[in-house]
Every structure is written in C-alpha cells, then in structure tokens.
Amino acid sequence: MEGPARPCAHCRRGTALRKYCRRCSPKASALYKRELRQEAKASGEKYWLEWWEKAHGDQAVEKRREYQRKYMRAYRRRKREKRAA
Ligand SMILES: [Zn+2]
C-alpha cells in the first residue's frame, strides 16, 4: 500500500508516517482544518458565516471583522512584547 518514503505534507522535511511526520502528526487535525479554511478562502467562500450568523444574526460580517481586528491587534502586541523581552 505504501510507496517509497514521502516527505511530510506540512514541513516537507520530516518523513511522513501517513501524511505528516512524527513532529507534525500531533497537529494534524489543526493543520487539516487550516487547509480547509485556506481552500475556502481561496474560493471566496464564507465558510464562517453560518456559525457567526447563529451568534450575531445580521451583524455577523461586522462582528467577525471586529473580532479579527482585535485579534490581530493582540497578536501584534504579543509579538512586540516577545521581541522586547
Ligand atoms: Zn512535518
């Protein structure tokens, strides 16, 4: 069933056990979800809309934008603090 050793689908350095190498395997489900999100984003699909509409109704798009702004601000702050430390 298995052919010759394939590189890890994520880091491309390790040898894949199935799809990912030993180091990336624990992250497999997160990586898979990220892959789905990236595909959805590339095709312009609002995969997140249904979930956000459940929580916020008509304001879903606006609320998500706000969330992402906050998230990125916090992310940049963490990065800055890390650099300064
Ligand atoms: Zn890997």
Instruction: Give the distance (Å) from ligand 1 centre to CA of residue 20.
Output: 5
Predicted local distance difference test score (pLDDT) of residue 84: 87
pLDDT (tens digit per residue) in 60-83:
999 999 999 999 999 999 999 999
Whether the full predicted model's pTM is greater than 0.85, yes or no, is no
* Helical packing angle, 49-56 and 60-84, nearest 10°: 100
For residue 31, report the distance from its CA to the centre of ligand 1, in Å.
Answer: 11
Question: Do 14 and 24 form a contact (C-beta atoms < 8 A)?
Answer: yes
Is the pLDDT at 2 greater than 80, yes or no? no
**10, burial (CB in 10 Å: exposed 0-12, middle 13-18, buried 19+):** buried
Q: What is the pLDDT of residue 78?
A: 95
- pLDDT, averaged across the chain: 91
State yes or no: pLDDT of 15 exceeds 80.
yes
85 vs 45, more confident: 45
Report CA-CA distances (Å) from 48 to 28, 63, 79, 80. Answer: 21, 12, 26, 29
**Can you give the residue ranges of every domain in the chain?**
1-46, 48-85
User: How far apart are the CA of 33 and the centre of ligand 1, in A?
Assistant: 16
More confident residue, 85 or 56: 56
